[in-house]
Amino acid sequence: GSKQVNWAVQNSVVGFGAGNNIASGSRTATTFGAVPTITLTGTSYDNLTSIEFRIYGWSPDNVDISFDNIILGATTVVPEPVTSAALVFAMGLLSYRGLKFARRRFAKPVSI
By the 8 A CB rule, do 59 and 5 touch? yes
- Residue pLDDT tens, the chain, 112 long: 677 888 889 999 999 998 899 988 887 765 556 667 788 888 888 888 888 998 888 888 777 777 777 777 777 666 666 666 777 777 776 676 666 655 666 555 555 5
Q: Tell me, rounded to whole angstroms, the distance of Cα 34 from its chain centroid.
A: 23
Cα–Cα distance, 11 to 51 (Å, whole number): 7
